Amino acid sequence: MTFANPAYLLLLLLLVPMIIWYFLLKRKYEPCIKMATTEMYRQPVRTLRTSMIHLPFCLRLLTIALVIICLARPQTTKSFNRGEVEGIDIIMTMDISTSMEARDIRPSRIEAAKLVGGEFIQNSPNDNIGLVLFGGEAFMQCPLTTDHTALLSLLNNVSCQLAASGIIAPGTAIGMGLANSVNHLQNSKAKSKVIILLTDGIDNTGEISPQMAAELAKENNVRVYTISVGGNDASVGLNMQGEIISEDTDLDATDVLKNIAEITGGKYYQADSREKLKQIYSDIDKLEKTKLEKQNFEKKYDAFQIFAFIALALLVLEILVRYIWFRRIP
């Protein structure tokens, strides 16, 4: 319940001086009878009427309080939703090749991608989000889930050590990463299916070409937003022994990534800083939410009637009690 005029509720503070006046000052202004002795009243008889001597005053306080609440206009709210709420299924497909250790984006490309990706997940509480990682081969790190706490934990553990230590094949298999992501969206019943593909190099390995994977995404009504991350400077990577090495990263992958986005109805982005990457995720989030936005209608109803009815009933009860049951000597 809300109030249309909540400022009127401050009038309830006026009840405090009324209570003080009633119990401390009223007796000074009431008429009294002087008697030679009060011996006969030393042990007065307790009755129901004497026990409830303050009832009329309490009824008046309640009446005034209810009238003030009526002035504040209490209201109830009823919401109407038009259309069904549609969820978004999102697969974040992330490159973990050794070139993602480059520090042209601070603290590194992979760390910046994790930080910004984590913020994106936290800002999408109603979406099913999964995580696919790829280097020379691709694998599902986390299936589609609304348990974003578990997803964030898995995302925070992502590193390029798998490629550096040879656990997965070296290279950048964009087609494999994209195809793996599409495969996990094939059975999705969501009307909006999205893949966010983040990489810093060109496709140089894998059994499935980016073109073929893009066509597969199109057949399954999956939009792919591609992000080319990093600058054109020499980057820092890790060799098989885990040593930091300097290598030239070929970022001339714009044609491939643009083609993927164009085929699937997505969009291509270039990110050369953490701030730019954050802005890209924000833009993608806005694009998707605009397409699935539902209309909410809210209607408010006045609810003062019940308070007014109770106040009137208490007022009538006070009059009856004060002038009939507690009838006073004129």
Q: CA-CA distance, 52 to 254, in Å (whole number)?
A: 87
Write down the pLDDT at residue 200: 82
Max mean pLDDT range (30-39, 164-173, 316-325): 316-325
Residue 246 has pLDDT above 60, yes or no: no
25-34, 108-117, 161-170, 304-313, range with the lowest pLDDT = 25-34
Q: Which fold has domain 88-291?
A: Rossmann fold (3.40.50)
What's the gap between Cα 320 and its chain centre? 55
Residue 249 has pLDDT above 60, yes or no: no
Would you place residue 311 in the very low, low, confident or very high pLDDT band (cuts 50, 70, 90)?
Answer: very high
β-strands 74-82, 295-302 pairing: antiparallel
Max mean pLDDT range (208-217, 286-295, 300-309): 208-217
What is the percent of the chain where pLDDT is above 90?
30
88-92, 100-104, 196-200, 259-263, range with the lowest pLDDT = 100-104
Write down the pLDDT at residue 242: 45
Write down the pLDDT at residue 100: 85
Q: Which residue has the higher pLDDT, 136 or 253?
A: 136
String of b and e for 100-139 (b: at least 16 CB within 10 Å)? bbbebbeebbbbbbbbbbeebbeebeebbbbbbbbbbbbe
Write down the pLDDT at residue 162: 79
Average pLDDT (101-130) is 87
Locate 315 and state its tokens.
């007022």
Indicate the SS3 state at residue 2: strand
Enumerate the domain spans of the chain: 1-13+54-82+297-330, 88-291
Query: Tokens 């009939």 belong to which residue?
Result: 324
Average pLDDT (135-164) is 88
Would you place residue 87 in the very low, low, confident or very high pLDDT band (cuts 50, 70, 90)?
Answer: low
Would you place residue 250 in the very low, low, confident or very high pLDDT band (cuts 50, 70, 90)?
Answer: very low
| Chain segment 198-241, per-residue pLDDT in tens | 988 777 777 888 999 999 999 999 999 999 887 654 444 444 44
Indicate the SS3 state at residue 255: helix
Give the DSSP per-residue string, 135-192. Answer: SSSEEEEEEEES-HHHHHHHHHT--SHHHHTTSS-SS--HHHHHHHHHHTTTT---SE
Please list the residues that pair with 235 across neighbouring strands: 247
Q: Which residues contact 160 (CB under 8 A, 6 or more apart)?
A: 96, 97, 98, 100, 101, 110, 135, 237, 238
Locate 166 and state its tokens.
């040879």
